[in-house]
């Protein structure tokens, strides 16, 4: 299948999910969305030990499986995407079926850190934000959406999230085709919306003339 894979990367709390979800909301089922977070490895250790795992290191993710799944989507094959449960710090037993689409959005903090993924991405976007804004957004998100306690969030940020960001995430900005300063940046959104609309136009033309 002739498809375009768009990677949306950036640090935790930068707004990359907001940007991705805005595009998904605009185009609906015309695009498929794959989240790198869902590919965190399944853990067999106790919950208290899982809380201490460095989830911001590339080795924490089963990127081999994501690469294979993107290849399948590009071939026109559906995938069974794993689902990660943040409340238990582990992959759940569920999967989500994702059908191939002309446009595939892939989102994750470490997307551009893996050369295999970079090679597969036709468009690479990096969303950046001030460090203070990112940690505040992370705190609000993790407390409200992921059932985390404040002490755990702060400890995790200082011991793994912050150092891993500067080691593995921030340097990958150099690989991006587009760098935006917020997931709510309307100019960047309009540019991406126009770009995707142009790529979808042949499909819409064919559907309207069947």
The pLDDT score that the predictor gives to residue 208 is: 53
Q: What does the alpha-carbon distance between residue 127 and residue 105 come to, in Å, rounded to a whole number?
A: 14
Number of neighbouring beta carbons within 10 Å of residue 188: 18
**CB distance 109 to 12 below 8 Å:** yes
On the 0-12 / 13-18 / 19+ scale of CB atoms within 10 A, 206 is exposed
Q: Rounded to 5 degrees, what are φ and ψ at 93? A: -85, -5
Task: Specify the DSSP class assigned to residue 61.
Answer: B
Burial of 147 (0-12, 13-18, 19+ CB in 10 A): exposed
* pLDDT (0 to 100) of residue 37: 95
CB 151 within 8 A of CB 173: no
Q: Report strand pairing: 79-85 vs 90-98.
A: antiparallel
pTM: 0.88
Average pLDDT of each block of 10 consecutive residues along the chain (210 residues)? 92 90 95 97 92 91 98 97 92 96 97 96 92 78 78 82 91 95 89 94 57
Locate the domains of the chain by residue range.
Answer: 4-182
CATH of domain 4-182: 3.40.50.300
| Size (the chain), residues | 210
Number of helices (H), then strands (E), in the chain? 8, 7
């Amino acid at each position: 299948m002739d498809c375009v894979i768009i990677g949306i990367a950036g640090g935790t709390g930068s707004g990359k999910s907001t940007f991705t979800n805005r595009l998904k909301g605009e185009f609906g089922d015309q695009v498929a969305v794959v989240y790198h977070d869902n590919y965190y490895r399944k853990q067999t250790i106790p919950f208290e030990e899982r809380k201490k795992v460095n989830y911001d290191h590339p080795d924490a993710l089963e990127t081999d499986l994501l690469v294979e799944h993107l290849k399948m989507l590009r071939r026109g094959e559906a995938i069974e995407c794993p689902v990660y449960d943040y409340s238990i710090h582990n992959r759940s037993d569920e999967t989500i079926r994702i059908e191939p689409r002309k446009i595939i959005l892939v989102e994750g903090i470490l997307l551009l850190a893996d050369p295999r993924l970079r090679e597969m991405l036709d468009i690479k976007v990096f969303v950046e934000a001030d460090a203070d804004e990112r940690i505040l957004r992370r705190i609000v998100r993790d407390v409200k959406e992921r059932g985390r306690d404040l002490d755990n969030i702060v400890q995790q940020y200082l011991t793994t999230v912050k150092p891993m960001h500067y080691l593995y995430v921030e340097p990958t900005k150099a690989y991006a085709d587009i760098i935006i300063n917020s997931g709510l940046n309307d100019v960047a959104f309009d540019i991406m919306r126009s770009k995707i609309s142009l790529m979808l136009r042949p499909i819409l033309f064919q559907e309207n003339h069947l």
